[in-house]
Amino acid sequence: MPVSEQVWASSNIHFPSKDSKDWFDAMVSKGWCTPEWPKEFGGGGLTFDESKILKQRLKFFGCRPAQINFGISMLGPVLLEFGTDEQKQEFLPKISRGEIWWCQGFSEPGAGSDLANISTTAYLSNGKYAIEGSKIWTSEANKADWMYCLVRTDKTVKKQAGISFVLIDLKQPNIDIKPIQLLSGQSPFCQVYFDNVYANESHRIAAENDGWKVAKRLLQFERIMMADMESEGAVDVEPLKVFRDSHPSASLGSKKLLKKIIAHEMRNHLIEMTMSRSTAESQNGFSPAGLILKYISTEETQTRWELNVSSLGMGGLEIVDHSAGVKKEVSKSFFYSKAYTIAGGSSEVQLNIISKNILGLIS
Ligand SMILES: Cc1cc2nc3c(=O)[nH]c(=O)nc-3n(C[C@H](O)[C@H](O)[C@H](O)COP(=O)(O)OP(=O)(O)OC[C@H]3O[C@@H](n4cnc5c(N)ncnc54)[C@H](O)[C@@H]3O)c2cc1C
């Protein structure tokens, strides 16, 4: 299924074709959008091993995930871990069925890498939080239904100890969502302004002021999602194929490039094996390998698109010629891959985490 056939989960879901709707309906009816989640929450009820086999088979047949949904990859797993029964019952089945477009309200103008520095405040009164402040770089907020959000509920304690994790219904007054226009002319991000906006106390995940532990866990899931993203790359833009199609006869220069591509493929294979090991390890608790995956796989993804551009030579960054399907895909992905080492925590910050939490180099 081509990338253009993928759909975003939403209360106003749009299917580009009958095929994409059929595929979505078939996956949802089996609970296979969330194969490991319990059946009572809309999941497939599969064991870890069964789910792994399912994912391998889907990949083998070139099937893309039926929906793009931060609820599946990030919020759902933390709800399963920290949510109350009521919260799980309210949100998980809707997430699995792709009925909510979630956005992530973490970063702020003064809080990016230093995420605990958030200053958006929330005051509890009569079972509702009143929220004031602003979030930035919120991907697709202008299309989202709900935001999972970090808010400051205590200013008097250590930064990390005064944060709560709340779910905000974006369909209410006093929320101003402004798309941020990029050089490309596109606006995948927004700045979101809250002026006396409400979240129900019952939609706070974990105890008040205990949101940092939820955020840290969610960021682990985000890193896994980002590490996993490119392993689903389309077959027609795999570096070896792009190279073969663009180099019908071998020259010395092209042999050097081929060597680099083979080295990249081998590293990619190692990353995939490490990812499988880490997923298996994390079933029984913490997996240190998980901490390196976001860094190595997003850096390797950039290498992948650089190699593709090198294979295509002068035309590698062609973005105007719409007939050049592969070139357009390559140039778009080449530019977009630059964002992967920033989103979800920059590479520099990942290296800090590795040196502190795995190597014990920073106290
Ligand atoms: C494609 C994309 C999608 C995003 N989507 C979302 C979203 O949906 N929701 C959301 O909340 N946020 C989102 N973000 C924001 C993202 O989380 C932040 O951009 C990221 O955490 C970095 O923060 P910053 O941009 O404020 O950079 P800064 O924190 O200001 O960092 C600037 C530079 O300084 C370096 N740096 C900072 N601190 C250190 C340090 N201690 N040691 C070494 N180097 C350091 C960084 O590596 C970086 O190179 C998205 C970003 C991108 C690129």
DSSP conformation letters of 56-97? HHHHHTTPPPSEE-HIIIIIHHHHHHH--HHHHHHHHHHHHT
114: buried, middle or exposed (CB in 10 Å: 19+, 13-18, 0-12)? Answer: exposed
64 C-alpha to ligand 1 centroid (Å): 28
The more confident residue out of 317 and 134 is 134
User: What is the average pLDDT value for the chain, to the nearest integer?
Assistant: 90
The residue ranges of every structural domain in the chain are 3-96, 102-210, 233-358
Q: Which neighbouring-strand residues pair with 91?
A: none
Give me the residues paired with residue 242 across strands: none
Tokens of 34: 């969330």
Ligand 1 pocket, residue 361 CB under 6 Å: no
For the segment 141-157, the average pLDDT, to the nearest whole number, is: 98
Question: CB 21: neighbour CB atoms within 10 A?
Answer: 16
**pLDDT class of 182 with cuts at 50, 70, 90:** confident
Q: Which residue type does 99 have?
A: E
Q: Over pLDDT 70: what percentage of the chain?
A: 92
Per-residue confidence (pLDDT) for residue 108, from 0 to 100? 98
Residue 285 CA, ligand 1 centroid: distance in Å:
27
Our mutation pick for probing the ligand 1 site, out of 346, 347, 350, 356, counting the most ligand atoms within 8 A of Cβ, is 346
**Which carries the bigger pLDDT value, residue 335 or residue 108?**
108
Q: Exposed, middle or buried by CB within 10 Å (0-12, 13-18, 19+), for 312?
A: buried
Task: Return the pLDDT at 279.
Answer: 81
CATH number of 3-96: 1.10.540.10
Does residue 29 register a pLDDT over 90? yes
* Cα(303) to centroid(ligand 1), Å: 21
Q: Is 348 in the pocket of ligand 1 (CB under 6 A)?
A: yes
Q: Ligand 1: which of 137, 180, 338 to mutate, judged by most atoms within 8 Å of the beta carbon?
A: 137
Structure tokens of 351? 């290296």
How many CB atoms are closer than 10 A to CB 360?
8
Judge if the beta carbon of residue 134 lies within 6 A of ligand 1. no
The residue contributing the CA closest to ligand 1 atom 41 is 349
CB of 116 closer than 6 angstroms to any ligand 1 atom: no
Residue 254 pLDDT: 86
In this predicted structure, the answer to whether residue 232 has a pLDDT above a threshold of 80 is no
Higher pLDDT, 52 or 195: 195
Does residue 316 line the site of ligand 1, with CB under 6 A? no
Which of ligand 1's atoms lies nearest the C-alpha of 135?
A: 11
* Tokens, residue 202: 């019952």
Q: How far is CA 95 from CA 29, 51, 258, in A?
A: 13, 18, 43
Residue 144: both structure tokens together: 């989202």
Among protein residues, the one with the nearest Cα to ligand 1's atom 23 is: 112
**Per-residue pLDDT, 126:** 97
- How far, in Å, CA of 100 to CA of 141, rounded? 12
pLDDT at position 4 is 61
Confidence of residue 74 (pLDDT cuts 50, 70, 90): very high
| Average of per-residue pLDDT across 275-288 | 80
Residue 321 has pLDDT above 70, yes or no: no
Give the architecture-level CATH label for domain 233-358: Up-down Bundle (1.20)
For the CA of 347, the closest atom of ligand 1 is: 47
Architecture of domain 102-210: Beta Barrel (2.40)
Q: Is the pTM of this model over 0.85?
A: yes
Atom of ligand 1 nearest to the CA of 113: 29
What's the rounded Cα separation, in Å, for the pair 107 and 113?
A: 8
